[in-house]
Amino acid sequence: MNKLNIIYISIILVLFFFGYYFFRLDDTFIFYKYAKNIAEGNGYVFNIGEKVNATTSPLYTLILAFIYWIIKSFFNDSFVIIGNLVSITSILLILYSVKNIFNDNVKFYWFAFVFLAMPLLKFGFGMETHLNLAIIVFSVFLYTKEKYLLAAVFIAFSILARFDSILFAGIIFLHYIIKNKKLPPLPGIIIFVVIVSSWFIFSKLYFDSYLPTTISAKLSQSDLGLFGPGLIFLTNSTRVIPGGYLTVSAILVMVLFSPIYIYLQRINIFKNDGILIIIVWSVTLFITYAFIINAPPYQWYYTPFAIPVAILSAISLSEIIKKDKWQKIVFALLFISACVLPIKNLIQGYNPKYKNFFRAAEWLNNNAPDGSLLAVDDIGILGYYYNKGKLIDALGLINPEVPKHLSQKDFDWFLTHFKPEFIAHEYPKIQLHLRGNEKIFWQNYTAIKIFESRREKIAIYKRHHE
């Protein structure tokens, strides 16, 4: 049975790699743009000459840059492949770590199939998400094996992979104190502080800021009401997660059923320190995202919760379904479920936003005068491919002066201040934060080119000559 399971898992990962090659989130290209500039000697910048950090993960950016620097002579435009390879490697590290944390083959295979069948994984491809999760889970594995110094290195790396991992670092720090009634080993603390502080010192010296612009820019999007009122991380989940209500309902059933079953059966899962730490971290992260900061509902923000859901499901299902025959049937069904999304992506090809933005950048590169300023509110794909001038961002990721005007509802400031020659944006509706006063906008700009893919449209708007 183990050989069959390994074959299943291998097929799923191969499909993930090839299927999600075509699934290209705009934000992934923010990392690719920074990494390309680093590898080509332009510095840690998006627009050349502008030292603004719009990346949430310096570690992921530097890994991309390093791999690209090695292979760029052979493969010039290889970032999507590199990003997917990092994701696949990260998923393998997650599986390896959880296998050792469980130390139980049956529970591990239940975890593996439930985890890989989660549609939430799709949105981590090309992002820092899978790398961050892999480092977190691997850190837990090292910690449970009492390899504290090495664990300290990877806990520090987890923060550099995604800054909100400071929650994870705090939880594992408190766990050690509560369990051992003393502070962690001093060398481990020093290693952690040196690694983390090294980045923040560099960040302050290079960018004149400790934190990336993404934190203020993306949280300001909640204030703008771009995703509706209320607890937007919760209310938008059915809209952004593949499968909508069906997927969210299935996850809720697993989240509610598994703990109840585990409690009724008196299964003490928290004797396992690794599981305890992962569950506490996941709950803390969820509360932070959903209730404390009311995070905008970007799809990859939901991906981390695939791990605790799969862990709880593995524990309960391994107790309920013990017969080998039924395990094979359920594993086969989960295998099919895991294959659906990547196969669908293979059939559909490139996502429509990528196709439209790529075509827009190509058209601008052929028709825009050198030095033309391009305004957008999705900077990734257009920023990566557009080569006639600089980008400016209506949401402020690469223009840190923008969010304060957005928070003051001063929507006219952006276009009045920058006066971009071109705007690339959805069509026909133009978001308020980009256009400002609609009458003034149409007095100054005209849609000159429209691109469409699978009923999604974007237009290039050109500024009138004054």
Into how many domains does the chain fold? 2
* Biggest CA pair distance of the chain: 77
Distance CA 328, CA 430 (A): 51
Give tens-digit pLDDT for 69-104.
999 988 878 999 999 999 999 999 999 999 999 999
Query: Span 434-444, mean pLDDT?
Result: 93
Report the share of the chain in percent with pLDDT over 90. 86
215 pLDDT tier (thresholds 50, 70, 90)? confident
Q: Decide which of 348, 365, 396 is a domain's last residue.
A: 348
Asked if 187 and 261 sit in the same domain, the reply is yes
Identity of the residue numbered 284: T
Asked if 146 and 161 sit in the same domain, the reply is yes
Give me the half-sphere count of Cα atoms (radius 13 Å) on the Cβ side of residue 157.
22
Asked if 314 and 358 sit in the same domain, the reply is no
Asked if 406 and 276 sit in the same domain, the reply is no
Handedness of CA 265, 270, 274, 275 (dihedral sign): positive
Helical segments of 162-226, H only? 166-180, 186-207, 213-224
pLDDT value at position 218?
Answer: 74
Give tens-digit pLDDT for 278-297.
999 999 999 999 999 899 99
Q: Decide which of 294, 315, 348 is a domain's last residue.
A: 348
Query: Span 130-139, mean pLDDT?
Result: 99
28 pLDDT tier (thresholds 50, 70, 90)? very high
Instruction: Name residue, tokens 């300290």.
Output: 152
247 pLDDT tier (thresholds 50, 70, 90)? confident
Asked if 425 and 309 sit in the same domain, the reply is no
Whether residue 64 has pLDDT greater than 60? yes
221 pLDDT tier (thresholds 50, 70, 90)? confident
pLDDT value at position 75?
Answer: 82
Structural domain harbouring 247 = 2-348
Asked if 287 and 361 sit in the same domain, the reply is no
Whether residue 442 has pLDDT greater than 70? yes
Asked if 384 and 292 sit in the same domain, the reply is no
Query: Span 19-31, mean pLDDT?
Result: 96
The DSSP-derived string for 368-435 is SPTT--EEES--HHHHHH--SS-EEETT-SS-TTHHHHHHTT-TTHHHHHH--SEEEEESS---HHHH
pLDDT value at position 73?
Answer: 83
Asked if 167 and 103 sit in the same domain, the reply is yes
pLDDT value at position 216?
Answer: 79
Whether residue 347 has pLDDT greater than 70? yes
pLDDT value at position 352?
Answer: 94
Asked if 193 and 317 sit in the same domain, the reply is yes
Residue-averaged pLDDT of the chain: 95
Distance CA 252, CA 234 (A): 12
Query: Span 126-148, mean pLDDT?
Result: 98
Asked if 274 and 417 sit in the same domain, the reply is no
Question: Cβ distance 310 to 115 under 8 Å?
Answer: yes
* Structure-token pair, residue 216: 């203020």
Query: Span 374-383, mean pLDDT?
Result: 97
Query: Span 437-459, mean pLDDT?
Result: 95
Whether residue 237 has pLDDT greater than 70? yes
Give me the half-sphere count of Cα atoms (radius 13 Å) on the Cβ side of residue 373.
12
217 pLDDT tier (thresholds 50, 70, 90)? confident
Query: Span 228-236, mean pLDDT?
Result: 90
Asked if 374 and 254 sit in the same domain, the reply is no
pLDDT value at position 17?
Answer: 97
12 pLDDT tier (thresholds 50, 70, 90)? very high
240 pLDDT tier (thresholds 50, 70, 90)? confident
242 pLDDT tier (thresholds 50, 70, 90)? confident
Whether residue 399 has pLDDT greater than 90? yes
16 pLDDT tier (thresholds 50, 70, 90)? very high
pLDDT value at position 243?
Answer: 82
Whether residue 1 has pLDDT greater than 60? no
Give tens-digit pLDDT for 192-203.
999 999 999 999
Whether residue 214 has pLDDT greater than 90? no
Q: Decide which of 327, 348, 369 is a domain's last residue.
A: 348
Asked if 330 and 397 sit in the same domain, the reply is no
